[in-house]
Chains A and B, each alone.
Chain A
Amino acid sequence: MSLHFELTTPERIVLKEEYDAATVPTQEGEITVLPGHLPLVANLVPGMITLRKGREESYLAVSGGFVEVQPGSKIIILADTAERAEELDLEKVEAARERAEKVLAEKRSNDDVSAASAIAALERELARARVARKHFGKNRHLPSG
Chain B
Amino acid sequence: MAESPRTIRRRIKSVTNTRKITKAMELVSASKMRRAVASVLATRPYAEAAWRAVSEIAKVTDPTLHPLLSAKGDTKRVLLIIFTSDRSLCGGYNAQILRTVAEYLRNQGNEVDIIAIGKKGQATLARSKRNIVAAFEGLANNARVTDIRTVADMSVGDFTAGKYDSVQIAFTDYRSALIQKPVIRQLLPIMRIGELGSVDEAREGKPPRSGGQDLETTPGGATEYLFEPSPRAVLDQMLPRLVEAQIYQALLESAASEHSARMMAMRSASDAASDMIDDLTLTYNQARQAGITREIAEISSGKAALE
Contacts and interface: CB of A to CB of B under 8 A. Distances in A.
Given A27-B228, A39-B223, A66 B43 contact: no
Given A71-B220, A71-B223, A78-B50, A12 B229 contact: no
Contacts of B52: 68
B53 A40 contact: no
B295 to A, nearest CB: 69
A12 B42 contact: yes
A68 B49 contact: yes
Contacts of B43: 10-11
Contacts of A41: 53, 56-57, 225-228, 234
Contacts of B16: none
Nearest to A113: B153
A76 B45 CA distance: 10
Contacts of A2: none
A105 interface: no
B244 A10 contact: yes
Interface residues of B, number: 30
Contact of B228 (A8, A42, A65, A78): A42
A39 B226 contact: yes
A43 B39 contact: no
B221 to A, nearest CB: 10
A28 interface: yes
A40 B226 contact: yes
Nearest to A67: B228
A123 B255 CA distance: 32
A38 B45 contact: no
A58 interface: no
A28 B234 CA distance: 12
Majority SS at the chain B contact face = helix
Interface in B228-275: 228-229, 233-234, 237-238, 241, 244-245, 248
A10 B46 contact: yes
Contacts of B226: 38-42
Ranked nearest first, the 8 interchain pairs of A and B with the lowest CB-CB distance are A42-B228, A40-B226, A39-B225, A10-B145, A8-B46, A12-B42, A71-B223, A10-B46
A26 interface: yes
Contacts of B245: 10
A9 interface: yes
User: A interface, by DSSP: helix, strand, loop or mixed?
Assistant: strand
Interface of A: 6, 8-13, 26-28, 38-43, 65-66, 68, 70-71, 76, 78, 80
Given A41-B227, A66-B238, 9 more contacts: A10-B245, A12-B42, A28-B228, A40-B226, A41-B53, A42-B227, A43-B229, A71-B223, A80-B241
For B57, B223, B225, B245, the residue with the greatest tally of chain A CB atoms inside 10 Å of its CB is B225
A11 B237 contact: no
Contact of B53 (A6, A9, A66): A66
A12 B39 CA distance: 7
B203 interface: no
Residue of B46, B233, B244, B248 with most chain A CB atoms under a 10 A cut-off? B46
Contacts of B57: 41
B224 interface: yes
20 contacts: A6-B45, A6-B49, A8-B45, A8-B49, A10-B145, A10-B245, A10-B248, A11-B42, A11-B145, A28-B228, A38-B226, A39-B56, A39-B224, A39-B226, A40-B225, A40-B226, A42-B234, A43-B229, A68-B52, A68-B53
